[in-house]
């Protein structure tokens, strides 16, 4: 009898469209680097097929999967359990399957937080958050759970900003307020961290969120969720002003690292993942 094992551990992602999602390349490069016999299958799953896809993952004994658009909320009804953060955020992007039970987590905000913690501990800090979509919501909740002193949520649609501010106030010890985004947003004095969590800058190196750049202060951390191109115009302008820029690649890599820790209990090499994404996005280390 051969002692060879031809059965790989199965992980992956359900979304649609999925063809432009580079997560598979990032994670499989790190699996190979770590010598882990696991696959990450990037599946195009239409909304009406989500229930079957989830059942299929359990039937084939996948250890977990990511959910991206449009399944982050819809997947919840198929799961057995939610982590506290996923429950508060109201969206799941990472499911762990253990003994046939599915546990929903949200690693978007955790990935951002891990990246932020490389430059600053958000505990006690004042945050200025642009945007009130899914990414902003996950980031705000994780910052609240991590003990941020105050979060100002700024959005064109002010009602969405207030929903997030209320989520933070009601579920964490942090304070939060909402501000409508009218004209050029001014960064309040005393702000420690400015975050662009809008989609402005995605695929457009010249796009800039409407903020008064003169209100950025030397020493502030300025973070962007945009992974491609990573060095957005906002980050370039911030660097010019003596701020510390933090790109969206770190968030993407860290949520991958956290997801695989949940699935396999193993920590992948973040540098291998980041290099894979940089090669795909064709960016240098400048
Ligand atoms: P949503 O569509 O849920 O939210 C988009 C947000 O951007 C809204 O707040 C919207 O405002 C705002 N917005 C868009 N265009 C403008 C504009 N011209 N002026 C002002 N505000 C604008 O998207 P997500 O939250 O899911 O994603 C946001 C970005 O985060 C995407 O680019 C995505 O690629 C990135 N992302 C990065 C991740 C990473 O790992 N690096 C992970 C997840 C997301 P309004 O509500 O007023 O329309």
- Cβ neighbours for 106, distance < 8 A, ≥ 6 positions apart: 83, 85, 86, 89, 91, 92, 93, 94, 138
Nearest in space to 257 (alpha carbons), one of 83, 91, 23: 23
- pLDDT score, position 222: 98
Instruction: For residue 69, give the ligand 1 atom closest to its CA.
Output: 26
Measured in angstroms, how far is the CA atom of residue 135 from the centroid of ligand 1? Answer: 7
DSSP class of residue 40 equals E
Residue 129 structural domain: 110-246
Structural domain includes residue 146:
yes
Q: Which residues have CB under 6 Å of ligand 1?
A: 108, 111, 131-136, 155-157, 160, 181, 198-200, 202, 225-227, 248, 251-252, 255
Q: Which of 72, 125, 126, 274 is catalytic?
A: 72
Q: Do 270 and 219 share a domain, yes or no?
A: no
- Kindly give the pairing relationship between strand 101-105 and strand 126-130: unpaired
Q: Do 118 and 241 share a domain, yes or no?
A: yes
Average pLDDT, the chain: 96
Q: Do 167 and 204 share a domain, yes or no?
A: yes
Structural domain includes residue 91:
yes
Number of domains in the chain: 2
ipTM for the complex? 0.99
Both tokens assigned to 186: 């001014």
- pLDDT greater than 60 at residue 87: yes
Structural domain includes residue 260:
yes
Q: Do 181 and 75 share a domain, yes or no?
A: no
Cα–Cα dist 100/94, whole Å: 15
Measured in angstroms, how far is the CA atom of residue 274 from the centroid of ligand 1? Answer: 22
Structural domain includes residue 68:
yes
- pLDDT score, position 3: 80
Residue nearest to atom 1 of ligand 1 (CA): 133
Structural domain includes residue 206:
yes
Q: Do 66 and 84 share a domain, yes or no?
A: yes
**Confidence class for position 1, pLDDT limits 50, 70, 90:** low
**Confidence class for position 282, pLDDT limits 50, 70, 90:** confident
Cα–Cα dist 69/18, whole Å: 9
Cα–Cα dist 114/110, whole Å: 6
Q: Do 115 and 232 share a domain, yes or no?
A: yes
Span 118-175, pLDDT tens digits: 999 999 999 999 999 999 999 999 999 999 999 999 999 999 999 999 999 999 999 9
DSSP element (H, E) containing 94: strand 94-98
Q: Do 127 and 216 share a domain, yes or no?
A: yes
CATH number for 159: 3.40.50.720
What global pTM score does this model have?
A: 0.95
Q: Do 147 and 242 share a domain, yes or no?
A: yes
Residue from 94, 109, 131 to probe ligand 1 pocket by mutation (most atoms less than 8 Å from CB): 131
Q: Do 98 and 125 share a domain, yes or no?
A: no
184 is catalytic: no
Task: State percent of the chain over pLDDT 90.
Answer: 97
**Confidence class for position 283, pLDDT limits 50, 70, 90:** confident
- Cβ neighbours for 74, distance < 8 A, ≥ 6 positions apart: 47, 50
Instruction: For residue 135, give the ligand 1 atom closest to its CA.
Output: 25
- Kindly give the pairing relationship between strand 150-155 and strand 126-130: parallel
Q: Do 89 and 149 share a domain, yes or no?
A: no
Span 192-243, pLDDT tens digits: 999 999 999 999 999 999 999 999 999 999 999 999 999 999 999 999 999 9
- pLDDT greater than 60 at residue 247: yes
DSSP-based three-state secondary structure for 181: coil
- pLDDT score, position 285: 54
CATH number for 55: 3.40.50.10860
Distance of CA 123 to the CA centre of its chain: 19
Nearest in space to 264 (alpha carbons), one of 5, 27, 4: 27
Instruction: For residue 132, give the ligand 1 atom closest to its CA.
Output: 9
- Cβ neighbours for 13, distance < 8 A, ≥ 6 positions apart: 21, 23, 24, 40, 41, 42, 43, 65, 66, 67, 68
Residue nearest to atom 18 of ligand 1 (CA): 200
Q: Do 38 and 72 share a domain, yes or no?
A: yes
Structural domain includes residue 133:
yes
Structural domain includes residue 4:
no
Residue from 115, 160, 199 to probe ligand 1 pocket by mutation (most atoms less than 8 Å from CB): 199
DSSP-based three-state secondary structure for 272: helix
Q: Do 210 and 193 share a domain, yes or no?
A: yes
Cα–Cα dist 257/110, whole Å: 10
């Amino acid at each position: 009898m051969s002692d060879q094992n031809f059965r790989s551990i199965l992980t992956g992602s359900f979304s649609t469209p999925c063809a432009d999602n580079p997560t598979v390349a990032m994670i499989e490069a790190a699996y190979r680097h770590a010598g882990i016999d696991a696959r990450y299958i990037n599946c195009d799953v239409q909304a009406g097929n989500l229930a079957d896809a989830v059942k299929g993952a359990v039937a084939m004994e996948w250890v977990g999967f990511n959910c991206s658009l449009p399944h982050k909320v819809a997947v919840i009804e198929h799961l057995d359990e939610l982590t506290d953060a996923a429950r508060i955020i109201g969206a799941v992007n990472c499911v762990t399957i253990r003994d046939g039970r599915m546990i929903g987590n949200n690693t978007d905000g955790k990935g951002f937080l891990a990246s932020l913690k490389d430059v600053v501990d958000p505990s006690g800090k004042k945050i200025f958050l642009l945007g009130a979509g899914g990414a902003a919501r996950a980031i705000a909740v994780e910052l609240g759970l991590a003990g941020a002193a105050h979060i100002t949520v700024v959005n064109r649609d002010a009602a969405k900003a207030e929903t997030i501010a209320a989520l933070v106030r009601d579920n964490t010890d942090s304070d939060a307020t909402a501000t409508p985004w009218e004209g050029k947003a001014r960064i309040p004095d005393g702000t420690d961290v400015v975050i662009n969590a809008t989609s402005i800058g995605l695929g457009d190196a010249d796009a800039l969120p409407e903020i008064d750049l003169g209100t950025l202060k030397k020493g502030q951390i300025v973070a962007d969720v945009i992974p491609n191109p990573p060095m957005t115009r906002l980050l370039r302008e911030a660097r010019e002003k003596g701020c510390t820029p933090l790109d969206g690649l770190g968030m993407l890599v860290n949520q991958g690292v956290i997801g695989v820790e949940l699935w396999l209990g193993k920590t992948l090499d973040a540098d291998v993942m980041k290099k894979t994404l940089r090669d795909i996005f064709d960016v240098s280390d400048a």
